[in-house]
Structure 1
Amino acid sequence: MNFFMILSGTKLKHFLFIVVLSLFTALFIYSQTTAQVAVFSTKAGPKAIYKGEKGIALTFNIGWGDQKAEPIVNTLVKNEVKSATFFLSGSWAERHPDIVEKIVKNGYEIGNLGYAYEDYTDLESGEIRKDVVKAQDVFKKLNVKNIKLLRAPTGHFDKKTLKVAEDLGLTVVHWSINSEDWTNPGVKQIIKNIDKAKNGDIILLHASDAAKQTNRALPLIVSKLKSRGSFTNVSDMIANGKVKSTLIK
């Protein structure tokens, strides 16, 4: 009887271990899936890109402010990062044509972040189109050519946004790695947030004035990622390999 109890206890422990391991695995898979729920495509229709195959894409959103953007450009140049993508709001670009020019002159790509920094899921299709086109008109006046990328200003979008973008010849770009630098969690935490980045990832960073620690973190981010893949802009990533998107049903 004693032997039977010991054997049963051992089996019970083994069973519980398998159950706990299975739950942990399920939670891990779920967390990886939900990290990408904001990335959509319609069936056989327009897509939002969140990941590529070749290179690492550093992307910077700029919606407001006049203090952080230029130093970040200078840091990229100093650290010999020759390719990156800046998503600019039209209203910001309109007020800072000199910084826009500097971004372009240093070989960095510019994408559209809309004009007025509104949540596109709250707008009708016509309003989204008006906001995107207004920003495009600003870039044309600033002689910024061939803008083919759109990022939803708040990161939130749906089928309406995808359809408007497709009609305007634009590709919606999300991200696979979020640095969360706009929360100013500390330089070490920003670096930790991008620690899992690897070849094919699109990394979200900010160069608006709200992101007070990004420029200090950037040299360490660049140093860490250089060994994992070459830096590229999003357009080249799309052109030079497979890209990933998630289906909206």
Structure 2
Amino acid sequence: MDFFITLNAKRIKQGLLIVIISFFTAMLFFSQSSVHTSVFSTKNGPKAIYKGEKGIALTFNIGWGDVQAEPILDVLEKSEIRSVTFFLSGAWAESHPQTVKRIKEMGFEIGSLGYAYEDYTELEDPEVRRDISKSLEVFKKLDIKDTMLLRSPTGHFDKRTLSIAENMGLTVVHWSLNSQDWKNPGVEAIIEQANKARDGDIILMHASDSALQTAEAIPSVISKLKDKGNLTTVTELIANGKVKTTLIP
């Protein structure tokens, strides 16, 4: 009788062990699979994408200015690179419809940089929503449809910003490598900084008028990036595999 009880207990322990292992295996599979869903669909709350897994995403912010955007587009056209993402402020887009048309016709991806280039962390919720909505309205008038990406205008954001963006169906995109081109540190310095990029990086550059040296740096930047991996848009980077996100306290 004692032998039977001992044997039965061993079987129960073995069964429990199998159940526990199966449970954690299922959890691991689920967690890995869920990476490929929206980065906002986690119990920890909304997040901002700052890095991917495969490819390198070259991104340009345009918040203001009348001079630098066209020369930068000229250089990109000569390089025959189309896998680039532009984040445009609504106010700039509204006053430069022909340049926006050119960006669109060249096949570049377009995301929102808000409308008035304000710091969202200093605005009330309704003001943030209004600024984003205003930019999307401008985009629609310029025949830019289904905008899915948002970059916080000044690069500053908080949980409120992320929640508002999520509710508006937008993915907030930050960056993992800042080229510092807006500081005009010298063409070689911009090239050297961008050359630090690795597979999965999202690179921040500018086509606003503060970026006086960017157009000259782009050919070398692109040449060096091509040697490191495929140049992709942000959307392609997200679709290519896992994405890294940042939590805001």
TM class by shorter chain equals 0.7 to 0.9
Aligned length in residues:
210
Deviations 1:183-216 (A, max 9, x none): 1110011112122101110000000011000000
1:125 aligns with 2:125: yes
Q: Identify the residue that residue 58 of structure 2 maps to in structure 1.
A: 58
Name the counterpart of 1:207. Answer: 207
Instruction: Give secondary structure in 1 for the equivalent of 2:61.
Output: strand
Instruction: List 4+ stretches of structure 1 deviating above 6 A.
Output: none
Name the CA distance, whole Å, in 2 between partners of 1:204 and 1:72.
Answer: 14
Contact 1:43-1:247 within 8 A present in 2 as well: no
For the pair shown, the structure with the greater C-alpha radius of gyration is 2
Q: Which residue of 2 aligns with 1:176?
A: 176
How has the CA–CA distance of structure 1 residues 93 and 230 changed in structure 2, closer, same or farther, with 3 Å as cutoff?
same
8 Å CA contact 1:50–1:176 kept in 2: the answer is yes
Q: Deviations over 1:142-162 (max 9, x none)?
A: 110111000000000000110
Contact 2:47–2:248, Cα closer than 8 Å, also in 1 = no
Matched residue type, 1:101 = K
Aligned residue for 2:88?
88
Aligned-pair identity in percent equals 64
2:72 maps to what in 1? 72
Deviations 1:59-88 (A, max 9, x none): 000011111111111211211212100000
Aligned to 1:10: none
Cα deviation 1:93-150 (Å, max 9, x = unaligned): 0000101010011110000000000001101111101000000000000110111000
Quote the offset at 1:246 in angstroms.
2.1
Question: 1:43 deviation in Å?
Answer: 4.9
Q: Distance in 2 between matches of 1:177 and 1:247?
A: 18
Question: C-alpha distance in 2, partners of 1:248/1:217?
Answer: 33
Partner of 2:150: 150
CA shift, 1:248, in A, is 3.2
> Are residues 1:221 and 2:225 paired?
no
* Equivalent pair of 2:53/2:243 in contact (CA under 8 Å): yes
Secondary structure of the residue aligned to 1:245 is strand
Q: Does 1:166 align with 2:166?
A: yes
SS in 2 for 1:248: coil
Q: Tell me how far apart the structure 1 counterparts of residues 57 and 196 of structure 2 sit (CA, whole Å).
A: 14
Does the 8 A contact of 1:86 with 1:109 survive in 2?
Answer: yes
What are structure 2's unaligned runs of at least 5 residues? 1-38
- Asked if residue 246 in structure 1 is aligned to residue 243 in structure 2, the reply is no
Distance between the aligned counterparts of 1:43 and 1:175, measured in 2? Answer: 23
Equivalent residue letter for 1:155: G
Match of 1:49 in 2: 49
- Structure 2 counterpart of 1:138: 138
**Structure 2 Cα separation of the partners of residues 167 and 205 of structure 1:** 28
Q: Is 1:185 aligned to residue 190 of structure 2?
A: no
Contact kept? 1:43, 1:248, Cα under 8 Å = no
Q: Which runs of 5+ in 1 are unaligned?
A: 1-39
Amino acid at match of 2:95: R
- Distance in 2, matches of 1:246 and 1:119, equals 19
Residue matched to 2:233: 233
TM-score normalised by the chain length of structure 1: 0.82
